[in-house]
Amino acid sequence: PQPNNIFSSRAEQVDGNKIQLVWFYCPLDQKSQPVCFNVYYDSGTGQVDYETPLAKVNYEGRMFYSYKTDALNAGGYLFTIRAEDADGIENSSLAQLKLQLDTTNPDAIDILSTETV
C-alpha cells in the first residue's frame, strides 16, 4: 500500500528566477494516508535526484499545496512531487513537471506618442 499519486499539478516562474509548484492531493480510495510530500528536482541536469528531496511539505488534508524554490539559474528544470506515508513509503509516480526558467529581463518597450493631424 502507498499514498495516491498527486491529482493535479502546475509550475510557473515567479519573483524573477524562482519556480512555484502548486498541486492537489485527493485522499479518496487511498491505500495509506500521507504525512508529507517530497519535492524532487534535477538541478538542471535532466536527471531527477530521487534520493535527496529538495523540500518536504507536510500533509494537511484534501487541499491545494505549494512550494516556492530558492533563486535558480536560467535553464530547464524537471520536478517530481511524491506523497510519503508514515512508514516512509512513497507513491511511485514518474510524472514530472518541466519548466524552462528565463532569467533575462524583457527588452525595453518603445513608447510611441500620437497626435491628431
Reported as a single tens digit per residue, the pLDDT across 63-116 is 999 999 999 999 999 999 999 999 999 998 888 999 998 877 655 555 555 555
What pTM was computed for the model?
A: 0.83
Phi, psi of 41 (to 5 degrees): -150, 175
Mean pLDDT of 52-61: 95
Q: By percentage, how much of the chain surpasses pLDDT 70?
A: 89
Report the pLDDT value the prediction gives residue 1, as an integer from 0 to 100: 82
From CA 20, how far away is CA 14, in angstroms rounded? 6
Q: CA quadruple 94, 5, 8, 75: dihedral positive or negative?
A: negative
Report the pLDDT value the prediction gives residue 92, as an integer from 0 to 100: 86
pLDDT over 80 (residue 25): yes
Report the pLDDT value the prediction gives residue 50, as an integer from 0 to 100: 94
Check if the beta carbon of residue 64 is closer than 8 Å to that of residue 10: no
CA-only gyration radius of the chain, Å: 19
Report the pLDDT value the prediction gives residue 106, as an integer from 0 to 100: 56
Cell 511539505 found at: 57
